[in-house]
Amino acid sequence: MIGNWRKPSIAACEGRKSLSEMQVLRASDVRFLSLWKKQTSGCVQERLALYGEANLAYYREYAGGGEAQDRSFLILDGELSIVGVRMFQHQLADTSYQLSCWSLPILYLEHADSSADSRTGAHKVLKGEFKEIVGAPGAPDRVYYRDHLDRSELSCPGRVLLDLGAQPVPGFTQVIDLTCPEEELH
């Protein structure tokens, strides 16, 4: 658990929630940023700090600025935000297009207090959103999304991206507890 958000599981990707009950709130909506901040304000995950507006502006400038389309969205069930995605489609130096948060991977969060049916419906909407983005004219050539396996399972967006033809590049990380005595670290 991370604040009010939880890591999604692939088991929740299929289900019964009606898509007509879900609403997609895009970054272009004036309510987006305030609702995004409200929904993520309780998160204590250290990587979330990297996705603040000032930091994203820095990464955009560092990447050379340029034209970009904010493709971020929230999926709402009534007034409750079930899924939040932060991502931008921007042109790279080699003229290809990438979907990412500039130098950071796409940020995907799910609300922990939502019902299984709500999450299932949100996953269906998420799949439709990604299908629309990668199938549209001017679609991104690359998608930068980092998935962390939970009980050896991909998350719902990881599975959706693979189903849409993404080719994964495996990477391995290790968390080291630096509070341990130096002798234990070696």
* pTM for this entry: 0.79
pLDDT band at residue 20 under the 50/70/90 scheme? low
d(CA 168, CA 6): 23
Q: Domains plus CATH for the chain?
A: 5-185 (3.40.630)
Q: Angle 116-135/156-163 helices, nearest 10 degrees?
A: 30
pLDDT band at residue 34 under the 50/70/90 scheme? confident
- Percent of the chain, pLDDT > 70? 85
The whole-chain average pLDDT of the chain stands at 82
At 122-171, the pLDDT tens digits run 999 999 999 999 888 888 999 999 987 777 888 899 999 999 999 888 88
Question: What does the angle CA 125 – CA 112 – CA 159 come to, to the nearest 5 degrees?
Answer: 45
